[in-house]
Amino acid sequence: MDVRADPTRQLVRLRGRSYVAFVFSPVVPIVDWLAEIDATLARSPGYFVGKPIVLDLAAVDLSGAAIAHLVGSLNERNIRVLGIEGVDEERLGGNMPPLLTGGRACVITRNEPAQKAEPEAKPKPTSLLLDSPVRSGQSIVFMEGDVTVLGSVGSGAEIVAGGSIHIYGTLRGRAMAGVNGNSSARIYCQRIEAELLAIDGYYQTAEEIDVSLRNRPAQARLEGDTMKITPLN
């Protein structure tokens, strides 16, 4: 048996919902205002991505062409305009964002997932410990902080550190500390036979290191523009 029910009429339901949008209020000159936007984007690219943006043009008097140009400029920066406020409707062309009215100010709560994830990430280590000798030809580069070597650094090996360098053994290779411009970085070693020492770009080669310092515990530090190498103890 074939039962045919009358098709029930589907009602188009209209629901209301409110969203929080960023409101841009451009000021003249528009070029300078866009430069501000560019600066914000340079600091945090993608800040406006996926956010509803409303243009409030009440403070400026722009022609239809100027508004179209402004919306286009924002589009070029990947900022999509949801609607426009504070302007006569006749100035908005057919393919422009719609006119909005009745907006209420509110506080923007920031709950971006990127910021949530941040506390979970472990803080980066600020020192590097090597418990074996550094051999000739090896290069240890650690820009984030101090390097400590339990053992010797061979002739032809190099240690590059953003912070200080500590060597519990003989330093026969090169040690470059404070390479990020940290002039308070120092180099310590139990026996100095270094090929080259450098702190924040100031360097001394083996020839310039005083013979009386050789084969002893020593530290190197910067005093103004000069490197001071002094015996330890």
Partner 1 sequence: MAKVLVVTSGKGGVGKTTTTAALGAALAQSGQNVVVVDFDVGLRNLDLVMGAERRVVFDLINVVQGVAKLPQALIRDKRLENLWLLPASQTRDKDALTDEGVGRVIDELRSRFDWILCDSPAGIERGATLAMRFADEAIIVTNPEVSSVRDSDRIIGMLDSKTVRAERGERVEKHILITRYDPARAARGEMLNIDDILEILATPLLGIIPESQDVLKASNVGTPVTLNNADSAPARAYTDASRRLMGEEVAMVVPAERKGFMDRLLGRRAA
Contact residue for partner 1 among 10, 18, 63, 132 (CB under 8 A): 132
d(CA 187, CA 103): 62
The separation between CA 147 and the C-alpha centre of its own chain, rounded to angstroms, equals 24
Amino acid, single-letter form, for residue 208? E
Q: Where are the beta strands (DSSP E) in 98-144?
A: 127-130, 139-142
Residue 190 binds partner 1 (CB under 8 A)? no
CB 138 to partner 1: min, Å: 5
Residue 174 binds partner 1 (CB under 8 A)? no
The H-assigned helical ranges of 49-90 are 64-76
CB 26 to partner 1: min, Å: 59
d(CA 181, CA 193): 25
CB 156 to partner 1: min, Å: 6
State which residue, 157 or 220, has the beta carbon closest to partner 1: 157
d(CA 36, CA 14): 39
State which residue, 155 or 204, has the beta carbon closest to partner 1: 155
CB 171 to partner 1: min, Å: 12
Using the rule CB under 8 A, give the single segment among 67-75, 149-157, 158-166, 218-226 that binds partner 1. Answer: 149-157
Nearest to 150 by CA among 132, 126, 127: 132
Residue 148 binds partner 1 (CB under 8 A)? no
Contact residue for partner 1 among 51, 77, 80, 135 (CB under 8 A): 135
Residue 164 binds partner 1 (CB under 8 A)? no
Nearest to 93 by CA among 123, 122, 69: 69
Using the rule CB under 8 A, give the single segment among 28-36, 52-60, 130-138, 201-209 that binds partner 1. Answer: 130-138
Contact residue for partner 1 among 170, 178, 192, 198 (CB under 8 A): 170
Sheet of 226-231: strands edge to edge? Answer: 127-130, 146-149, 165-171, 187-192, 218-223, 226-231
Interacting residues toward partner 1 by CB under 8 A: 132-138, 151-152, 154-157, 170, 172
